[in-house]
Structure 1
Amino acid sequence: MANKQITEFVSQFKSIYEGEPWFGNSMQEILTDVTAETAFHKPTKHAHSLAQIVWHMVYWRQSLIKRLAGDTTYKGSMKSEDNWSTEAKLKALGWTAIRQLLHTSQQQVVELLEKQSDKLLDEAYSEKASYRELITGIIQHDLYHLGQVAYLKSISK
């Protein structure tokens, strides 16, 4: 298989999003019955809501999507106001739209990765990281926050 490593990354994205991942429920399973009320609930004043976390996941996926689509200038920033959007902006957008953005980002990641060869993985994404590190980081980031999403969902019931 010529692109064995890319194929494995695609498999991981698919498994985490809608498959049967080793760790438990997929993103789709976790989010399937989340209502807007649950999505925007904050367990404490300074905590992020489930909707904010999903938005944040989509925001960082854009670093990979935009680069794979040819925008070599795009860089996500922890200081960007879009990194952790305000509750007001997200409520105006709506929970259904946020879920759709996550779904669209999933489709884009998979489609764009499937067009790549393993050679991409060792190319520089930035001065400090390769595409392999970026892709691995996005997967790790998704998993980290998916655990938070599952927890927030469980305590909102």
Structure 2
Amino acid sequence: MEISTQLSNDLTEVLQGNPWYGPSVYEIIEQVSFEAAFEKPPGSVHSIAGILLHMISWTEEVIDRMNGLPSQVPSSGDWPDPGTPDEQKWQNYVSDLKLVNVNLLGIIQNFPKEQWTEHVTGVVENDPGTTFEALIKGLIQHHIYHSGQVSLLLRIID
């Protein structure tokens, strides 16, 4: 199986499939009300909305890197401020997460197979060089990690 196909399948499975570890990212996010999304339980550093914006930011940064831009902190920031609670805003964040991942899947599917082993441009602290394949695998892991955080926060809030 080609790398593009495998990575597309892996990302799709984590986002909306039936991953072996539990609910998909979208399944978890769909359980979150807008009231819960903006709540920050005592001792928690981030709200669910903040985590979702962080996931969006880093997906956008991965897209930029796949398009040849040098590695950097996401242009929208590492942890964008979700602002005040608002139902429409929450729905927009959920839609944005889905849209940015659709865009990424398109890039993955059309990425030249000879470039998967090339290194992403730019220097990230403590990173000797990340290949494009490792970049996508890392983002998949990032999505899994933060969806776990969302699940735990949702249990605390509800």
TM-score range, shorter chain: 0.7 to 0.9
Tell me the equivalent position of 1:141.
142
Provide the rounded CA distance (Å) in 1 between the counterparts of 2:113 and 2:93. 31
When normalised by structure 1's length, the TM-score is 0.86
C-alpha contact 2:5 2:109 (8 A) present in aligned 1 = yes
Count of residue correspondences: 152
Change (3 A) 1:103 1:90: farther
Amino acid of the residue matched to residue 40 of structure 2? K
Cα drift, residue 154 of structure 1 = 1.5
Tell me the equivalent position of 2:126.
none
**3-state SS, counterpart of residue 43 of structure 1:** coil
CA-based RMSD of the aligned residues comes to 2.2
**3-state SS, counterpart of residue 122 of structure 1:** coil
Q: Give the % identical residues.
A: 28
Tell me the equivalent position of 1:125.
120
C-alpha contact 1:56 1:85 (8 A) present in aligned 2 = yes
Provide the rounded CA distance (Å) in 2 between the counterparts of 1:76 and 1:93. 30
Provide the rounded CA distance (Å) in 1 between the counterparts of 2:44 and 2:77. 18
C-alpha contact 1:62 1:76 (8 A) present in aligned 2 = no
Cα drift, residue 34 of structure 1 = 1.1
When normalised by structure 2's length, the TM-score is 0.85
Q: Among residues 54, 57, 60, which one is paired with 2:55 in the alignment?
A: 57
| Residues 1:95 and 2:90 are matched in the alignment | yes
